[in-house]
Chains A and B, each alone.
Chain A
Amino acid sequence: MAFYVVQFLTGLASAASLFLVASGLSIIFGVTRIVNFAHGAFYMIGAYIAFTLTERFSGAFGFWGGVVVAALAVALIGVLVEMVLLRRIYHAPELFQLLGTFGLTLMVEDLVVLIWGPDDLVGRRAPGFKGAVDFFGQNIPSYDLFLIVLGPVVLGILWLLFQRTRWGVLVRAATQDRDMVAALGVNQKWLFTSVFAVGVFLAALGGALQIPRDAVHHAMDLRIIVEVFVVVVIGGLGSIIGAFVAAVLVSELNAFGILIFPKISIILVFLVMAAVLIVRPWGLFGKPEAAARKTPGLTVNPWRPLTSNERLASLAALVIAAMLPLFAGNYALTVGSEIAIFVIFAVSLHFLMSVGGLASFGHAAYFGLGAYGVAFLAKMAGLPMIVCLLLGPLLGCMGAAVFGFFAVQLSGVYFAMLTLAFAQIVWSIAFQWVSVTGGDNGILSIWPEKWAASPSHFYWLALGVAALVTVALRIMVFSPFGYALRATRDSVLRSEAVGINAKRIQWTAFVIAGTTAGIGGALFAYLKGSVFPDNLGISLSVDALVMVLLGGVETVSGGVIGAIVYKALNIWLVSQTDLSKLVLGGFIVLIVVVFPKGIVGMLEMLAQRRRKSSPPGSPLIAKPIESAE
C-alpha cells in the first residue's frame, strides 16, 4: 500500500514540473494565439543559466536566488523576442508565428552548445532538499515533496493574478475575445508583451527547477515541448486549471501505467490526448472557440489559375529542371530527386492547409505510411517496383481515411493536435512492432529496379511525378470541389447554409492530401533504399509545416517554392557547416521578419504593387481587396 502512495506522490512531482512549463504555454496561447514552439527553448535556457548561477554562487541563497534570477533573465530575453520578432508578425497568417519560434528554437540548440559546451551538465542539489523522507519503508525525495507543494502554489498565484488584478481581467478578456479588448482601447502591445514575459518566466522557472533532478543538455527543449503542448491541449487551451489537471492525469497514468505495461511511456500522452479530443473536442476544460470575426478573404489575394504566360513560364521551368541530368553529377541529381519528393510532400500539406484551412501537425504519418506500404509490398510480397509505387501510397490513403474521419470533427489547433496524436501513434507502432517493421532499425534494401536505378532516371521519375501531382492538385483547387473546400475554410456557417456538407468535403480533402503525401513517401523509400520510423516522425511533420509556411500559406504555389528553398538550403547547410541549425534558424527568422506572407506571398504582393502603379486595369484588381479590408 505504501508503495502505491509513494508512486502516486512521485507522479504528482512529475506533474508539477510539467505543469509549470505547460501553464506558461497555455497563457501565451490563450491571449496571443501564438503557437510558441520556442517554449521548450526558453525552458532549456532557464536550466542552463540557472546551472551557471548556482555553480557560481553556493549556499541556499545562491541556489534559490540563482533559480529565480535565471527565470527573470530568460523572461527578459522573452520580452526582447516578443518586441523584436513576434510583434511584427501578429497580423501574419495564423501559424506563421510558429515558423518564427521554430527558427528561434533551431538557433538556441546550437547556441547553448557553443556557450556551455557539448557535455551534459549536472547541477547541484537544492539546499535543504537533498535527502529523502521515509514513508513506511519507502523513500520519497524531499525535493519531490517541494515540487508537489510548488505546483498548486503556482496554480494559486496564477489564479489570484487572473481573478484579482486588473491585468488578469484584461488577460482573461483577451483570451475570450481579443478584438473586443482592442476595441475597448486596451493597449494590446503591452498586454501581449507582459503575457509573453509571464509565460516565458514560468517556462524558465520550470527548467531551472529541474537542475537538482536532471542533467542540463542541448536536447532538453525537444524532450519537453511536444509533451507540454499535449498537456495544454488535453486541459483545454488557455485554461490554467485544465493544464494542471491534465499534467496530473498524464503523469499519474504514466506512473501506474509502467507497472503494467513497461513500454507504455513512449506513447501514453498521445493516446490520452487522442481519447480526450475525440470525446471532448476542446479539451477537458476548454470552451468552443468563438466563431472567427474576420472577413473571409481578408488577407488573401483572390486566387486565380495561371495565365497562359505563367503556364508557359512554369512549363519552361519544368523543362529546364528536366535538363539537369545533362550537366549535373550524380549527387546533384539525388538531391534533386529528394527536393522533388519534398515538393510532393509539401504541396499535399499545402492543399490541406491553404485550401482547406486545416493545418496538420502530423502530416508525416501519411508520407511514412506510403513509404512503409512500399517496403511491405517490396520485401514481403516481392512485388515489382512499379506495382509497389502504385499500391504503396494506398496505405497512406487508408491511414488518412481512418484518422481524417476523426480529425475533421475538430478545428484549429485541436485539429492540428489530434493529427499529431495520430501520427505519434502510427510512429510508435512502427517503432515498437519490431517483428513486422524492424523497429527503429527499419526495413533495408528497397532499392529501385534497373530501369530507375541510375540517378538521372530516378530524378526524371521523381520530377515527373512531382509535376503531375502539383498540376493535379492545382486543377482540384479550381474545380467545384476546390471552391467548396475553400468555402468551408472561409466560413463554415455560410458554406453549410448553401448546402455544402463541410465535414465530408474536409474529410475528402484529408484523404486526398494523405494519399498524395503517401506518393511522396513511396518514392522516398526507393530514393533512400530504406524505411525508418523517422519517416513518420514529428520532425518530418514540422519540416513540412515549415516548407508550407515559408512558401506562403495564402498562396496557391507556396508549397512548391517553400519545399525547394527549405530543402535545398537545409541539405546545403548541413553539408557545409557544423552550425547548420544556427544558420538555418537565423535564415528562417529573417524570412519571417522580412516576408511575413512567405516567399511567394511577398512576391505576389510586390507584383501587385507594380500592377497598381501601372494605371490600366489595376483598380479592378486592387479594389475588392481594399474594400474587404
Chain B
Amino acid sequence: MRAKNYFVGAAFALLAGGMAHSAVAQEIKIGEINSYSLLPAFTEPYRKGWQLAVEEINASGGINGKKLVVVSKDDGGKPADAQTAANELVSSEGVAMLTGTFLSNIGLAVSDFANQKKVFFLAAEPLTDAVTWAKGNKYTFRLRPSNYMQAAMLVEAASKLPAKRWATIAPNYEYGQSAVAVFKKLMSEKRPDIQWVDEQWPPQGKIDAGPVVQAVAAANPEAILNVTFGPDLVKLVREGNTRGVFKGREVVSFLTGEPEYLDPLKDETPEGWIVTGYPWYSIKTPEHDAFLKAYQAKYNDYPRLGSIVGYQTIKAAAAILAKAGSTDTDKMIAAAEGLSMPSPFGEITFRKIDHQSTLGAYVGKTAQKDGKGVMVDATYKKGADYLPSDAEVEKLRPKD
C-alpha cells in the first residue's frame, strides 16, 4: 500500500516536472531586484515602467519567440538582503540575468555577487562611478548616466556662470561625496579662479535644514551646489526659501528636475536652478511620444524618471538576450558589448570599454507653472559626450 502510494506520487512528480519543463522551454526568466519597500517614491513608477516593457515585448512575440518573464524581489535597502535575493533568483528561479538595484552600495554588492557567480548583471540605477570603473567587472553593465556623467553635464552649464565663490550641500554618504568630488574637480579644471568657501554634509534623510542653510549663507557664496534629494531636498528648499538664502545666488543641483523630487515641491519650487532631470511634458521626439502614450494609456498617470529607467532596463535586457540568441552568460556579454538600441531618449549604446550605456539626461532650469514645479529650457545631453577619454577609462578600470 505504502509502496503504491509512493509510486503514484513519483509518477505525479515526474509528470508535473515534465510539464514544468515544457513551460520553461517557452520562456526566458530575468531576475530583478530593487528597494521597493524602502524607496517607493522611485520604485513604484520604476516597476510600472518595466511592467510596460514586459507587456510590449511579449505582445510583439517575446524574445526570439520565447515569452519574457521578470521575477522581481525587494531588497529592503540592505546589501545583504539584496544578495539573498540575487542568490534566490539565480539558484532557485534559474534566471538568465540579474537586473535592477537603486542604491550604490547595493549595486556594488550585486555586481560583486555577479562577478563571483559568473552571472550577467545589468545595473539599472546605481550612480556610483565604481560600478563601471574602480570596481567594474566583466559581468556588470549599467544603464543610467553615472555620477561623473551627470556632474560633467552640470559643470558645462555651471562653468559659464560668473560666480566665483561656491558652497556645496550634499548628503553624507558615498553618492553625495563622490558627486561633490567630481563636480569640484571638473569645475576647477575649467575655472581655476573658483573658490570653494563652504561645504555642508547633512546625514542622508536626517537633514536639520535650518542650521545647514544658515551656515551656508554665512559663508556668503555666490553659487551653491546641491546634491540632496527626496525629503531632505524639500526641507532644504523650504528653509532656504523662507530665509532668502537662494535669492541672488545661482544654484546647481543634481537630480532635482526629476519628477520624483520636483513634483512634491509644488508652489515652493525655486526658480532658475540648473538641474538634471526629466521634463516628460516638453520632450517632443517620436520615440518618447510613443513611450508616453503607451505609459499613459496603461496607467492613466504620467511617467517619472524611474519609469524610464525601469522601462529601458528591461528593453535593454531583451535586446541583449535577443542578440545573444542564448542565455549563456559569455554570449550575453559578447552581445551586450557595443550593442546599440532605441530608447525613449534616442539611441543608446552599451560601451565595450567600461560597460556603461550612453543614455543621457536632460539639463535645464527649474521654474513654476500654475503652482507646479517644471523644468524649462531643457536640452538632452547625450551620455557619450560626457565621458572621459578611453585612455583615462582604461586607467580607472581594473583589467578583467
Listed in ascending order, the chain A residues whose CB lies under 8 Å from chain B are 3, 6-7, 10-11, 13-14, 109-110, 113, 118-122, 130-132, 138-141, 143-144, 212-215, 217-220, 223, 227, 251, 254-255, 258-259, 262-263, 265-266, 329-332, 334-335, 338, 431-432, 434, 439-442, 444-445, 447, 455, 524, 528-530, 532, 534-535, 539, 571, 574-575, 578, 580-581
Q: Is the CB of B44 within 8 A of A255?
A: no
Contacting A at CB under 8 A, from B39-53, are: 40-41, 43-44
Q: Is the CB of B243 within 8 A of A141?
A: yes
Q: Is the CB of B231 within 8 A of A215?
A: yes
Q: Is the CB of B40 within 8 A of A13?
A: no
Cβ of B179 to closest chain A Cβ, rounded Å: 14
19 A–B pairs (Cβ distance < 8 Å), ordered by A: A7-B211, A7-B215, A14-B210, A119-B260, A119-B263, A122-B265, A217-B231, A259-B218, A262-B199, A265-B172, A265-B203, A265-B206, A334-B84, A440-B173, A444-B112, A445-B115, A524-B80, A529-B113, A580-B74
Contacting A at CB under 8 A, from B364-393, are: none
Q: Is the CB of B206 within 8 A of A7?
A: no
Q: Is the CB of B242 within 8 A of A578?
A: no
How long is the Cα–Cα vector from A445 to B74 in the complex, in angstroms?
23
Q: Which of B81, B87, B242 contacts A334 (CB 8 A)?
A: B87
Q: Is the CB of A139 within 8 A of B74?
A: no
Q: Is the CB of A265 within 8 A of B208?
A: yes
Q: Which of A144, A223, A255, A528 contacts B206 (CB 8 A)?
A: A223
Residues in chain A near residue B135, CB distance under 8 A: 441, 444
Cβ of B232 to closest chain A Cβ, rounded Å: 9
Cβ of A421 to closest chain B Cβ, rounded Å: 16
Q: Is the CB of B208 within 8 A of A3?
A: no
Q: Of the 9-residue stretches B57-65, B103-111, B182-190, B339-347, which lies at the interface with chain A?
A: B103-111
Q: Is the CB of A110 within 8 A of B84?
A: no
Residues in chain A near residue B286, CB distance under 8 A: none
Residues in chain A near residue B238, CB distance under 8 A: 212-214
Q: Which of B73, B200, B264 contacts A575 (CB 8 A)?
A: B73
6 further A-B pairs in the complex, CB-CB below 8 A; given A10-B211, A213-B239, A441-B104 = A109-B37, A120-B230, A122-B234, A215-B235, A532-B105, A574-B73
How long is the Cα–Cα vector from A445 to B139 in the complex, in angstroms?
14
Q: Is B296 an interface residue (CB 8 A)?
A: no
Q: Is the CB of B79 within 8 A of A532?
A: yes
Q: Which of A141, A434, A535 contacts B242 (CB 8 A)?
A: A141
Residues in chain B near residue A7, CB distance under 8 A: 211, 214-215, 218
Nearest A-chain residue to B74, judged by Cβ? A574
Q: Which of A132, A254, A581 contacts B211 (CB 8 A)?
A: A254
Q: Is B336 an interface residue (CB 8 A)?
A: no
Q: Is the CB of B105 within 8 A of A442?
A: yes
Q: Is the CB of A574 within 8 A of B108?
A: no
Contacting A at CB under 8 A, from B244-265, are: 244, 260, 263-265
A119 touching B41 in the complex, CB below 8 Å, given contacts A265-B208, A574-B81: yes
Q: Which of B109, B230, B239, B263 contacts A141 (CB 8 A)?
A: B239
How long is the Cα–Cα vector from A251 to B214 in the complex, in angstroms?
14
Cβ of A452 to closest chain B Cβ, rounded Å: 13
How long is the Cα–Cα vector from A13 to B109 in the complex, in angstroms?
40
How long is the Cα–Cα vector from A338 to B260 in the complex, in angstroms?
36
Nearest A-chain residue to B175, judged by Cβ? A440
Q: Is the CB of B177 within 8 A of A259?
A: no
Q: Is B293 an interface residue (CB 8 A)?
A: no
Nearest B-chain residue to A113, judged by Cβ? B40
Q: Is the CB of B211 within 8 A of A258?
A: yes
Q: Is the CB of A578 within 8 A of B74?
A: yes
The listed residue with most B CB atoms (<10 A of its CB), out of A213, A215, A263, A535, is A215
Residues in chain B near residue A431, CB distance under 8 A: 173
Q: Which of A118, A215, A439, A571 contacts B84 (CB 8 A)?
A: A571
How long is the Cα–Cα vector from A259 to B268 in the complex, in angstroms?
27
Cβ of A115 to closest chain B Cβ, rounded Å: 12
Q: Is the CB of B105 within 8 A of A215?
A: no
Cβ of A374 to closest chain B Cβ, rounded Å: 14
Q: Is the CB of B264 within 8 A of A121?
A: yes
A214 touching B215 in the complex, CB below 8 Å, given contacts A266-B172, A444-B108, A532-B79: no
Q: Is the CB of A13 within 8 A of B215?
A: no
Number of B residues near A (Cβ < 8 Å) is: 68
6 A-B pairs with least C-beta separation: A118-B40, A215-B234, A331-B92, A331-B91, A255-B211, A330-B91
Q: Is the CB of B38 within 8 A of A219?
A: yes
Q: Is B118 an interface residue (CB 8 A)?
A: no
Cβ of B85 to closest chain A Cβ, rounded Å: 7
A442 touching B109 in the complex, CB below 8 Å, given contacts A254-B208, A329-B92, A534-B79: yes
Residues in chain A near residue B128, CB distance under 8 A: 441
Residues in chain B near residue A332, CB distance under 8 A: 92
Contacting A at CB under 8 A, from B68-101, are: 73-74, 76, 78-81, 83-85, 87-88, 91-92
Q: Is B201 an interface residue (CB 8 A)?
A: yes
A440 touching B174 in the complex, CB below 8 Å, given contacts A7-B215, A14-B210, A139-B242: yes
Q: Is the CB of B268 within 8 A of A122?
A: yes
Q: Is B202 an interface residue (CB 8 A)?
A: yes
How long is the Cα–Cα vector from A329 to B94 in the complex, in angstroms?
12
Residues in chain B near residue A335, CB distance under 8 A: 84
Q: Is the CB of A581 within 8 A of B242?
A: no
Cβ of A88 to closest chain B Cβ, rounded Å: 29
Residues in chain B near residue A132, CB distance under 8 A: 242-244
A262 touching B201 in the complex, CB below 8 Å, given contacts A330-B91, A441-B128: yes
Residues in chain A near residue B116, CB distance under 8 A: 445, 447, 529
Residues in chain B near residue A13, CB distance under 8 A: 210
Cβ of B131 to closest chain A Cβ, rounded Å: 10
How long is the Cα–Cα vector from A259 to B38 in the complex, in angstroms?
31
How long is the Cα–Cα vector from A121 to B266 in the complex, in angstroms?
10
Contacting A at CB under 8 A, from B262-299, are: 263-266, 268
Q: Is the CB of A122 within 8 A of B87?
A: no
Residues in chain B near residue A266, CB distance under 8 A: 172, 201, 203, 206
Q: Is the CB of B78 within 8 A of A258?
A: no
Q: Is B130 an interface residue (CB 8 A)?
A: yes
Q: Is B325 an interface residue (CB 8 A)?
A: no
Nearest A-chain residue to B210, judged by Cβ? A10
Q: Is B36 an interface residue (CB 8 A)?
A: yes
Cβ of B393 to closest chain A Cβ, rounded Å: 19
Residues in chain B near residue A217, CB distance under 8 A: 41, 230-231
- Residue interface bits B206-223, CB-to-A below 8 A is 1, else 0: 101111101101100000
Residues in chain A near residue B173, CB distance under 8 A: 431, 439-440
Q: Is the CB of A334 within 8 A of B91?
A: yes
Residues in chain B near residue A432, CB distance under 8 A: 172
How long is the Cα–Cα vector from A442 to B242 in the complex, in angstroms?
38
Q: Is the CB of A120 within 8 A of B243?
A: no
Q: Is the CB of B234 within 8 A of A120?
A: yes
Cβ of B121 to closest chain A Cβ, rounded Å: 13
Q: Is the CB of B109 within 8 A of A223?
A: no
Q: Is B17 an interface residue (CB 8 A)?
A: no
Q: Is B9 an interface residue (CB 8 A)?
A: no
How long is the Cα–Cα vector from A143 to B238 in the complex, in angstroms?
11
Residues in chain B near residue A532, CB distance under 8 A: 79-80, 105, 109
Residues in chain A near residue B80, CB distance under 8 A: 524, 528, 532, 534-535
Q: Is the CB of B235 within 8 A of A263?
A: no
Q: Is the CB of B109 within 8 A of A255?
A: no
Residues in chain B near residue A535, CB distance under 8 A: 80
Q: Is B18 an interface residue (CB 8 A)?
A: no
A439 touching B177 in the complex, CB below 8 Å, given contacts A10-B214, A139-B242: yes
Cβ of B395 to closest chain A Cβ, rounded Å: 20
Contacting A at CB under 8 A, from B1-53, are: 36-38, 40-41, 43-44
Residues in chain A near residue B218, CB distance under 8 A: 3, 7, 259
Nearest B-chain residue to A431, judged by Cβ? B173
How long is the Cα–Cα vector from A455 to B91 in the complex, in angstroms?
11
Q: Is the CB of A131 within 8 A of B242?
A: yes
Q: Is the CB of B239 within 8 A of A578?
A: no
Residues in chain A near residue B36, CB distance under 8 A: 578
Residues in chain A near residue B217, CB distance under 8 A: 138
